[in-house]
Amino acid sequence: MSEKLAIVTGGSRGIGASVAAELAKAGYDVIITYAGNDEAANKTVEEIKSLGVDAEAYKFDVSDNEQTSKSVDEIIEKYGRVDVLVNNAGITRDGLFMRMGKDNWDAVINTNLSGVYNVTQPIVKIMMKQRSGVIINMASIVGVYGNAGQANYAAAKAGIIGFTKSLAKELASRNIRVNAIAPGFISTDMTKGLDSEKIAEHIPLKRLGQPEDIAKTVKFLADDGTYITGQVIQVDGGLTV
Ligand code: NAP
């Protein structure tokens, strides 16, 4: 068992799986959490273990406060500390606002924003006791600039940004840093329906991002960005410049 523990929500696939691997390479034991895809979660756990650290997957719905508290408490009980929390679990339910049903509004707000509350609350308590910790929240450039067809997602991601800045101010005196990453278009299951060649034409770096591009930024904020808190780092190939 390593001396450092990282928890990555939504760590079974996509950006989260890559973040988990990058933190494992940096020597963290890694807990990934996921919603239902057992096969992806097991594969990611095996990949992390092959990097020489401990790994475990916990299945719970981050939008469910009771389930989440129970699982997070179990993790804390077992490992005794949390050094890095990456709030990464997220979904999209896109559609023009005029026709957006309350179900799609609620699903995105409950998972992407309230999910961050549910996971972070119990973890902040142990980080305060430790007097150290790093929290990294996965926002989106959509939370900064908005996007037609994603009012629910933009609201949740903008909420995460406000949350990040506020929590950074609350927790700085306890040596806990809180930052957000705002990715642009990253190649994962979430973006697989999009025309990536067309999108790449509008990106100065002329490509979609890879999950590793985000994972390296997480690693930087976790280990090297020791004087950075309350910031939103845009990782978007220059799209918003
Ligand atoms: P993804 O490939 O669709 O993976 C989503 C992850 O979240 C999976 O591990 C999934 O678990 C988990 N998850 C979904 N709903 C959950 C719930 N209710 N409870 C617990 N876990 C849940 O997504 P991604 O593209 O890697 O995105 C990761 C994060 O980056 C998200 O917050 C997303 O909004 C943000 N982001 C992505 C992009 C992009 O272009 N891809 C851009 C900006 C921001 P299962 O595997 O069990 O389903």
Listing DSSP states for 28-83 in one string gives -EEEEEESS-HHHHHHHHHHHHTTTS-EEEEE--TT-HHHHHHHHHHHHHHHS--S
Q: Whose CA is nearest to atom 34 of ligand 1?
A: 90
Known catalytic residue at 153: yes
pLDDT for position 2: 74
Q: What pLDDT sits at residue 48?
A: 98
Cβ < 6 A, ligand 1 pocket = 9-10, 12-16, 33-37, 40, 61-63, 88-91, 111, 138, 140, 183, 185-186, 188-191
- Of all atoms in ligand 1, which is nearest to the CA of residue 183? 43
Beta bridge partners of 235: 183
Q: Which amino acid is at 214?
A: I
pLDDT, averaged across the chain = 98
**Closest ligand 1 atom to Cα of 35:** 47
Which atom of ligand 1 sits closest to the CA of residue 111? 18
Domain interval for residue 86: 5-235
**pTM for the full model?**
0.99
Q: Is residue 40 part of a domain?
A: yes
Nearest 5°: the CA angle 8, 10, 11 is 55
Centre of ligand 1 to C-alpha 185, Å, is 13
Contact 196, 173 (CB under 8 A): no
Q: Read off the pLDDT of residues 160-205 as tens digits, 9 standing for 90 and up.
A: 999 999 999 999 999 999 999 999 999 999 999 999 999 999 999 9
Give me the phi and psi of 132, to 5 degrees please: -165, 155
Q: How many domains does the chain have?
A: 1
Q: What is the mean pLDDT of the segment spanning 128-137?
A: 98
Ligand 1 centre and the CA of 88: distance in Å? 6
Residue at 240 is within a domain: no
Which of 7, 34, 65, 104, when mutated, tests ligand 1's pocket best, judged by the most ligand atoms within 8 Å of its CB? 34
Taking the centre of ligand 1 as the mean of its atom positions, its distance from the CA of residue 90, in whole angstroms, is 4
Strands of the sheet containing 232-235, edge to edge, are 55-59, 29-34, 5-9, 84-87, 133-138, 176-183, 232-235
Q: Does residue 127 contact residue 82 with C-beta atoms inside 8 Å?
A: yes
Condensed to tens digits (0 to 9), the pLDDT of residues 23-76 reads 999 999 999 999 999 999 999 999 999 999 999 999 999 999 999 999 999 999
CA distances from 143 to 107, 148, 182, 240 (A): 17, 12, 8, 12
d(CA 91, CA 141): 15
Q: Which two tokens stand for residue 154?
A: 């933009």
Mean pLDDT of 93-112: 98
- Inside any domain, residue 35: yes
Residue for token pair 């800045």: 165
Q: What is the rounded radius of gyration, in angstroms, for the C-alpha atoms of the chain?
A: 17
Identify whether 123 is part of a domain.
yes
List Cβ neighbours of 144 (8 Å cut-off, separation of 6 or more). 157, 158, 161, 182, 232, 234, 240
Question: CATH number, domain at 26?
Answer: 3.40.50.720
Q: Which has the closest alpha carbon to 82: 49, 137, 117, 123? A: 123
User: Is 241 a domain residue?
Assistant: no
Question: Rounded to the nearest whole angstrom, what is the distance from the C-alpha of residue 99 to the centroid of ligand 1?
Answer: 24
Assigned domain for 96 exists = yes
